Structure 1
Amino acid sequence: MITRDLQAFFAFAAICAPDAPACAKAVFMVSPEGFCLAEQSATDNRYMQMSAMVDAASAHAEHRALQAVIRRCLPVICFPGDSETPDAVFPNNVFALTPEHLILGHMRHPVRQREAARDDIRRFFTETLGRTLADLGSQPGICELTGSMVIDRSRGIGFCGLSERCDETGARAMHAAFGLRATLMFDLAEGEYHTNVVLSILAGRAAVIAPCGFRDSRVPEAIAGFYGGTAIQLSPAQKADFAGNCIALSGQDVFLSARAAASLDPGQLAMLDASGFILHAVPMPTLELAGGSLRCCVGEIY
């Protein structure tokens, strides 16, 4: 099922048993060689700080620290960056894994389309890990993978926000490529570019939601209702601090930037604790200048 119908989607989702791994078994990342603020990306990413000066050494230090923190939880593979692809530090928008496939996204901007052409990353996942290639760049719809599609892997359901970075054709292509049981399509609020800035599903049992990031307020209300007492709702200021751009990499370990963690209030922290989660906060002030945060830096290997 792929639909905009809230009632139909959640009725179907309610019978989707959590019968698959909720979290990745390893992650991949791309180091920030050539890291800078890409002008093309800034045209539809209001979180970018184009007036800021970027210090390459700081970006590398933050990225190494992030790798080290995640390695305490599960294995990390890090590919070298490339000065021709300044946004490559956010690989989850371009590459995604299922147990069977390597999925390549159809990126909106040419500066990001170059990332999908990297032969070394393709060959690692297809030849070394034996995944079959699903290249969505060859179909007409724009779809920036787990930037646009937030997935509850345990249930096989997806939440796909439509924007300049993902259209309905692209959403349908991702639904098929990820092999999802059901996908809910909805419009993001004006000015939002990726769903994973306004929504995260944590280990299939909790949701972090910024209602202001959705065009129709009924959508975040329905998502919060589905996850019940484990749905944490963010203010606009917390969304701007990337609190929605978090990720669970085990049943108890949630990773987010130090800026995002500092924005959470005591009640929200208590909800996460009551849900059995431990927060790992990593300083990323330089990397966040490029308009993404911790979740965007992490590609998941299933």
Structure 2
Amino acid sequence: MSLLSIQAPAAVVMIRPHCFHPNPETATDNAFQRSGEIRSHAEGASLAAAARDEVSAAAAALEAAGVRVHVFDDYGENQTPDSVFPNNWFSTHPGGHVAVYPMHSINRRRERRTDVIEMLKTGYRVQDVIDYSGLEHDDVFLEGTGAMVLDHIARIAYAARSRRADPVALERFCTHFNFEPMCFDTADPAGRAVYHTNVMMSVATEFALIGLDLIQNERRRDEVRKRLLESGRAVITLDGSQIGNFAGNALELSGKDGRVLALSERAVSSLTAQQKALIERSAQLLPLRVPTIEMAGGSVRCMLAGIHLAQR
């Protein structure tokens, strides 16, 4: 097994939140979110401390596996409860390219920070930064690698249509970054569209995890499965319960001893023995404990902004 893969970055950015809580601005379309009202300051502080500790422990586990982790602290000055999910506001790409994205919720737009971009420019070879955030003025949104799941090998951008993944912005991104857009409509058992593509699918080097039953159109569902198989990947189909337990919200990374699949303990527990065996043919499972952060409707993949750039 090769240690390196264009699909599996060897470094990530993480944000350690100090004022974390489920974001009321995102609750309307995020069916994964548990947004119970915080009843007291002490309760809010306890929740934020738990989330902060979960990020610190996850970063340490990733570093122990040989993944480079750049951790930035968010002290809450800008009132950014979802800052723990940086993959939504920027992404990086081989050749030295960085993209900055338009965000649907107003308070999530405040998550964008220049110090992260400056760190990338200082430590990695960055040729350009393409900023799409101006599309927010036209109510056009594309929330990064939450809205898109990118196949860096076959150059396909998979995207579940939602108000956070506008086809116009997707087309613009794909033109600039040389991806083929592949959109599809989704619905959960309650008829709700999936808010972010990366909670229902993850594309790794040799396999893909995907909730195919969420794709409404049977013909499109077959096309997505076919494209994944044509890329040489094993397709591991996830059921609704596994999707609800964040089994699709995983990210393959390159570590010191080969590739690892980072996902939550809850997600790993939902996988069958056969699914785990298929994954472990090419990547070691790396379960991370993030129950507090999962209250906000995202899990491990959302916490990791992969760095697909060459080091200086």
**Which TM-score band applies after superposition, normalised by the shorter structure?**
0.7 to 0.9
Give the AA of the match of 2:200: V
Structure 1 residues 68 and 33 mapped into 2: Cα distance closer, same or farther (>3 Å)? same
1:166 deviates by: 1.0
2:160–2:194 Cα contact (<8 Å) kept: no
What CA deviation, in whole Å up to 9, does each residue of 1:102-154 have, x standing for no partner?
211100010111112x2222322345545222111113431001001111112
* Counterpart for residue 85 of structure 2: 90
* Counterpart for residue 21 of structure 2: 36
* Counterpart for residue 214 of structure 1: 215
Q: What TM-score comes out, normalization by structure 1 length?
A: 0.86
Given the alignment, which residue of 251, 255, 260 partners 1:247?
251
Map 1:110-125 to 2 at 5 A: 110-116=106-112, 118-125=113-120
What CA deviation, in whole Å up to 9, does each residue of 1:235-282 have, x standing for no partner?
101000000001110263111100000001122112223x32211111
2:305 is equivalent to residue 299 of structure 1: yes
Map 1:79-228 to 2 at 5 A: 79-83=72-76, 84-99=79-94, 100-116=96-112, 118-126=113-121, 129-131=124-126, 132-139=128-135, 140=138, 141-177=140-176, 179-189=177-187, 190-203=192-205, 205-228=206-229
Q: Give unmatched runs, 5+ long, in structure 1.
A: 1-19
Deviates more, 1:121-130 or 1:159-168: 121-130
2:279 is equivalent to residue 272 of structure 1: yes
1:213 deviates by: 2.7
CA–CA distance in structure 1, aligned partners of residues 148 and 199 of structure 2: 11
2:260 is equivalent to residue 258 of structure 1: no
Question: What SS does structure 2 have at the residue aligned with 1:286?
Answer: helix
CA–CA distance in structure 2, aligned partners of residues 82 and 193 of structure 1: 27
Give the AA of the match of 2:132: L
CA–CA distance in structure 2, aligned partners of residues 48 and 56 of structure 1: 16
Q: Give unmatched runs, 5+ long, in structure 2.
A: 39-43
Deviates more, 1:48-57 or 1:228-237: 48-57
Structure 1 residues 286 and 169 mapped into 2: Cα distance closer, same or farther (>3 Å)? same
2:8–2:259 Cα contact (<8 Å) kept: no
* Counterpart for residue 24 of structure 1: 9
CA–CA distance in structure 2, aligned partners of residues 43 and 25 of structure 1: 35
* Counterpart for residue 8 of structure 1: none
1:286 deviates by: 0.3
Equivalent pairs: percent with the same residue? 31
Give the AA of the match of 1:78: V
2:147–2:198 Cα contact (<8 Å) kept: yes
Q: CA RMSD in A?
A: 2.0
2:11–2:67 Cα contact (<8 Å) kept: yes
1:208–1:234 Cα contact (<8 Å) kept: yes
Aligned pairs, number: 280
Give the AA of the match of 2:275: Q
